Amino acid sequence: MPIYEYACTACGEQIEVQATIAEKEKGLKVVCPKCGSRKTARVFGSFTVTGASRGQGGPSTCCGPQAGPGCCG
Ligand SMILES: [Zn+2]
């Protein structure tokens, strides 16, 4: 079951919500456990799947042996 990461827009608390894709599609009601606000926004960028024990992200095409100009600052 995937874990969706949300952030409370009121206090900035990060919330991890475990839900099935079906539940997600129906619309999750995420309530901040810290301040009780329902103004939560989905956080993208760090996608976690339970059961998977993979390492850090995938191979990067930037900052690698074939990094082009403009990469790596
Ligand atoms: Zn909050």
pLDDT mean values, one per 10 residues, the chain (73 residues):
92 94 89 96 70 54 63 60
| DSSP reduced 3-state for 22 | helix
Q: Which residues pair with 6 in a beta bridge?
A: 15, 42
Determine the topology of domain 2-49 in CATH: Rubrerythrin, domain 2 (2.20.28)
Distance from the CA of 56 to the center of ligand 1, in angstroms? 29
Distance from the CA of 58 to the center of ligand 1, in angstroms? 32
* Cα 73 from Cα 71, distance rounded (Å): 5
- Give pLDDT, residue 17: 92
- Give pLDDT, residue 28: 85
- Give pLDDT, residue 1: 83
- Give pLDDT, residue 16: 93
- Give pLDDT, residue 20: 92
Which of 51, 71, 53 has the alpha carbon at shortest distance from 61? 71
Distance from the CA of 15 to the center of ligand 1, in angstroms? 9
- Give pLDDT, residue 8: 96
Distance from the CA of 19 to the center of ligand 1, in angstroms? 20
Distance from the CA of 31 to the center of ligand 1, in angstroms? 8
